[in-house]
């Protein structure tokens, strides 16, 4: 088995891709100390050949799902960390760090979490007590030296301009009767987080000018009140329409607030970005498309632009994380259309580096 694995790895290490036959360096080796470089994983990714790929290319990981409240908190209210532990143990054994993801997110609030046994809504105080117990348990559970930051609050902002800058339909917003849950979440996390663990606000599409305004308004108000927020996570589920200027403006505006920057969920869909107007367009194509040379070239150029901006801003950026390892397991193969293949990452579904991989490498090695 070990033998087969090393044959597979040799093949992967000396890949012949897009006319380039060369030794494949680890991404972390050419990115060097610019920022941590990571990948979102599941318990099944951290083993076998994919486990070896993670060790070759990355120095940090995010659990794609298994550290989220809805996965950890069981129906009877107990906590089950066993799936997350498989990833954390792999990190610990191999000297990788992890981004904690996430503590408060409307999308991962267990069913019935905001209700009592009879289905009546809990009071704000009851929700606070219940979730403070959860946050405390999280920090008692995970080893201090592995998880270096937490996405404390995920996606609290509205997508479209409206009466509120917040996502008012969130069960958190509703349980608290307003956005105070954000401040509460950061202050409560600060009580339990070990010294030095960074507390992050994470959201998507914040390079969109209107959403960037909303994010800066929210974050500057919180920071003025002394709420302990160390950084902002740009999820970076992007497409080819995102420009250098948009990324640079977001970095500049968040840095001006004194916030550290994390790129937390990077991938580049071959369809339109699923946010904003793109969402409607994106749903129109129902079937998988072929990953043509033209698509591969355009994606490689876009990845090169993105990593060039990140490299130029490396003093402001702590970590950059890809959302999944290869095109085979990307969530975009099932979102927004189930079963429609997308090709958003640096490695194809056979685990081979794509043109985009070499384009990123060239940004760091051709100086
Ligand atoms: C959001 C969340 C992630 C993940 C992706 C889709 O970006 O923050 O945890 O669920 O959606 O996979």
Catalytic residue among 50, 64, 155, 183: 155
Minimum CA distance residue for ligand 1 atom 12: 331
- Tell me the pLDDT band of 139, cut-offs 50, 70 and 90: very high
| Cβ-proximal residues to 187 (8 Å cutoff; 6+ apart), any chain | 227, 228
Q: Give exposure, 124-141, as e/b (b: 16+ Cβ within 10 Å).
A: beebbeebbebbebbbee
Residue 265 among the catalytic residues:
yes
Q: Is the dihedral of CA 88, 269, 309, 18 positive or negative?
A: positive
Q: Which helix (H) or strand (E) holds 355?
A: helix 355-365
Give per-residue pLDDT as tens, 293-334: 999 999 999 999 999 999 999 999 999 999 999 999 999 999
Which of 87, 152, 232, 235 to mutate for ligand 1's pocket (most ligand atoms within 8 Å of CB)? 235
Cα(296) to centroid(ligand 1), Å: 24
Which of 38, 67, 151, 265 to mutate for ligand 1's pocket (most ligand atoms within 8 Å of CB)? 265
- Helix axes of 209-224 and 244-256: crossing angle, nearest 10 degrees: 10
Q: How far apart are CA 6 and CA 4, in angstroms?
A: 5
- Helix axes of 124-141 and 180-192: crossing angle, nearest 10 degrees: 30
> pTM value?
0.94
Cα(42) to centroid(ligand 1), Å: 13
In ligand 1, which atom is closest to the CA atom of 154? 8
What's the Cα-to-Cα distance from 219 to each of 183, 205, 228, 250, 328, rounded to whole Å?
A: 10, 15, 10, 13, 36
Residue 163 among the catalytic residues:
no
Structure token pair of residue 328: 């085979």
Catalytic residue among 50, 64, 183, 265: 265
- Tell me the pLDDT band of 7, cut-offs 50, 70 and 90: very low
Give per-residue pLDDT as tens, 8-35: 444 445 555 665 666 899 999 999 999 9
The secondary structure of residue 122, as a DSSP letter, is P
In ligand 1, which atom is closest to the CA atom of 155? 8
Structure token pair of residue 181: 């849950």
In ligand 1, which atom is closest to the CA atom of 68? 9
**What stretches of the chain adopt beta strand conformation (E)?**
16-17, 20-21, 36-41, 60-63, 97-105, 147-154, 198-203, 231-234, 237-238, 260-268, 317-322
**What is the three-class DSSP state of 207?**
coil
Average pLDDT over residues 35-54: 98
Cα(150) to centroid(ligand 1), Å: 14
Cα(69) to centroid(ligand 1), Å: 13
Residue with tokens 């908190």: 73
CA 351 to chain centre: 20
Name the residue among 217, 224, 291 with its Cα closest to residue 254. 217
* Ligand 1 proximal residues by C-beta, below 6 Å: 101, 154, 204, 235, 265, 331
Which pLDDT score, from 0 to 100, does residue 18 have? 62
């Amino acid at each position: 088995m070990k033998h087969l694995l090393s044959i597979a790895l040799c093949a992967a290490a000396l890949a012949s891709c897009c006319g380039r036959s060369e030794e494949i360096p680890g991404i972390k080796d050419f990115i060097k100390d610019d920022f941590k470089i990571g990948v979102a994983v599941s318990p099944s990714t951290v083993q076998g050949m994919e486990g070896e790929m993670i060790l070759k290319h990355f120095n940090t990981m995010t659990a794609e799902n298994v550290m989220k409240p809805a996965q950890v908190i069981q129906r009877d209210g107990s906590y089950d960390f066993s799936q997350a532990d498989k990833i954390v143990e792999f990190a610990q054994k191999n000297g990788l760090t992890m981004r904690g993801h996430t503590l408060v997110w409307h999308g991962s609030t267990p069913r019935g979490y905001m209700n009592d046994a009879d289905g009546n809504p809990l009071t704000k105080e009851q929700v606070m007590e219940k979730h403070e117990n959860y946050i405390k348990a999280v920090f008692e559970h995970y080893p201090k030296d592995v998880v270096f930051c937490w996405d404390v609050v995920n996606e609290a902002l509205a997508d479209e301009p409206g009466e509120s800058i917040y996502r008012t339909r969130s069960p958190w917003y509703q349980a608290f009767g307003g956005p105070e849950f954000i401040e509460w979440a950061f202050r409560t996390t600060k009580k339990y987080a070990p010294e030095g663990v960074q507390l992050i606000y994470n959201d998507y599409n914040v390079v969109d000018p209107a959403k960037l305004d909303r994010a800066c308004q929210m974050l500057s108000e919180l920071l003025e009140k002394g709420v302990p927020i160390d950084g902002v996570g740009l999820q970076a589920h992007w497409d080819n329409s995102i420009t250098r200027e948009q990324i640079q403006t977001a970095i500049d505006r968040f840095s001006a607030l004194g916030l550290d920057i994390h790129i937390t969920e990077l991938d580049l869909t071959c369809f339109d970005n699923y946010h904003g107007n793109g969402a409607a367009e994106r749903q129109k194509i129902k079937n998988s498309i072929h990953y043509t040379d033209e698509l591969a070239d355009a994606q490689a150029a876009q990845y090169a632009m993105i990593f060039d901006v990140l490299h130029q801003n490396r003093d402001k950026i702590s970590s950059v994380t890809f959302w999944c390892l290869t095109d085979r397991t990307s969530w975009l193969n099932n979102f927004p259309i189930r079963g429609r293949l997308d090709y958003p990452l640096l490695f194809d579904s056979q685990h081979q580096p794509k043109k985009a991989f070499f384009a990123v490498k060239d940004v760091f090695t051709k100086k």
